[in-house]
Amino acid sequence: MNEQAQPAGGPLFNPLSPDFIRDPYPHYDRLRTIDPIHVTPFGHFLASRHAEVSLVMRDKRFGKDYVERSKRRYGEKIMDEPVFRSMSHWMLQSDPPDHTRLRGLVVKAFTARRVEDMRPRIQEIVDQAIDAVIDRGHMDLIEDFAFRLPVTIICDMLGIPEDHRETFYNSSRDGGRLLDPVPLTPEEIAKANAGNMMAQMYFQQLFELRRRSPGDDLITQLVQAEEDGNKLTNEELTANIILLFGAGHETTVNLIGNGLLALHRNPDQLALLKARPELMVNAIEEFLRYDSSVQMTGRVTLEDIEDLGGKRIPKGETVLCLLGSANRDPAVYPDRPDRLDITRPNVRPLSFGGGIHFCLGAQLARIEAEIAIATLLRRLPDLRIDDVENPEWRSTFVLRGLKHLPASW
């Protein structure tokens, strides 16, 4: 590690500090080396090595235990807050058997085959985004390019009518704070409640519409499952639709944004990918590994754990899994893990999680990013990012991505 990359003293884990947001990787190096199961000031156990991160996500002794975990952090009354109540129904926060039931209801919409069939539509949306700006000579790669693709695709899948979509384009980039490992302030909870209530009201109307006039879409399927009696409650239905928006939007925008930034910071890799477009599938895995758009997830110990990386962890404790750190662990990537190498063999990033919660939209996100980046390289081959050294990062830690990424051609 070079001297500049070595953070001086200070807390090992301060994830919302500007320095950490700008470049978390030297901090991860320090955690993996000095204290691979670090206890944070909030009393969480923080796993930073690949071995433990991977184990915690797959091992049944770890689960979500969302309601109890939230009460421990915020107090008994927290489940009266609409946003927390809603999140408690997310499959992402559920344990079996609820998790199995909820995931089972939507999994068919995300099979490899179904997602492959979306390629022409994804290509169309990407081409439209470029058509809209090509004569301008400049754009913001986030707002003008990456941003609309994942929302449009989710809207298509859910069957959101065209004339309702503008709200989603305008409002869906603020939820990330809910995931950060630093408790929400009362103001943030109030704001999240308001957003959640708006979404609930909107979806109730849409469910009514789909009951009256069914379509060939996921909401129609889910409304039918709800009517089927004990498969899905109305609260679960709404919550999991909101989850699909949240989980599938910002993450994919950031995969495209972080990937483009990484390529432009490494001109040799950019040139290689332009010369050999067949490397794109591996390049996407490397982008996910190199600068993951999801940096962390977590589990709760469902029983006492005698030894995790040398520490004993009692039942009921939160273990945070640093995906972005595991992805750069030299124990798994011995060949210069801090280097972007689109030809790297055996890249298996943990960016989509693991175990029963493995990302439902992984293949969709990969294909969206593949088509978006390939099309951009082909149609705007001389595109340059205006300031590759000092881009403006969003202030959230778990969801890592750029606010803006202005580029010209």
CA atoms within 13 A on the CB side of 60: 2
Q: Residue 107 and residue 84: Cα distance in Å, rounded?
A: 24
| Least separation in angstroms between CB 359 and ligand HEM | 3
Residues forming contacts to ligand HEM in the complex (CB under 6 A) are 57, 91-92, 103, 150, 154, 243-244, 247-248, 251-252, 255, 293-294, 297, 351-353, 357, 359-361, 364-365
Q: Which residue has the tokens 């001086």?
A: 8
248/391 with CB nearer ligand HEM: 248
| 259 class by beta-carbon count within 10 Å (0-12 exposed, 13-18 middle, 19+ buried) | buried
> Is residue 63 within 8 Å of 356, Cβ to Cβ?
no
| Least separation in angstroms between CB 355 and ligand HEM | 7
Q: Residue 77 and residue 44: Cα distance in Å, rounded?
A: 21
Q: Which residues, listed in sequence order, are joined to residue 113 by a DSSP beta bridge?
A: none
> Is residue 52 within 8 Å of 36, Cβ to Cβ?
yes
78/359 with CB nearer ligand HEM: 359
| Least separation in angstroms between CB 243 and ligand HEM | 6
| Least separation in angstroms between CB 135 and ligand HEM | 30
181/353 with CB nearer ligand HEM: 353
Sequence-separated contacts (24+) of 8-12 with Cβ below 8 Å: 11/41, 12/38
Q: Residue 204 and residue 77: Cα distance in Å, rounded?
A: 26
Sign of CA dihedral 173, 177, 178, 184: negative
| Least separation in angstroms between CB 409 and ligand HEM | 25
24/150 with CB nearer ligand HEM: 150
Four-point Cα dihedral 305, 311, 314, 318, nearest 10:
-100
Q: Residue 338 and residue 23: Cα distance in Å, rounded?
A: 12
Q: What is the amino acid identity at position 144?
A: D
220/351 with CB nearer ligand HEM: 351
> Is residue 400 within 8 Å of 292, Cβ to Cβ?
yes
Q: Report which residue's Cβ sits closest to ligand HEM.
A: 361
DSSP letter, residue 294: B
269/363 with CB nearer ligand HEM: 363
| Least separation in angstroms between CB 150 and ligand HEM | 6
181/248 with CB nearer ligand HEM: 248
114/312 with CB nearer ligand HEM: 114
DSSP letter, residue 399: B
70/297 with CB nearer ligand HEM: 297
> Is residue 300 within 8 Å of 63, Cβ to Cβ?
yes
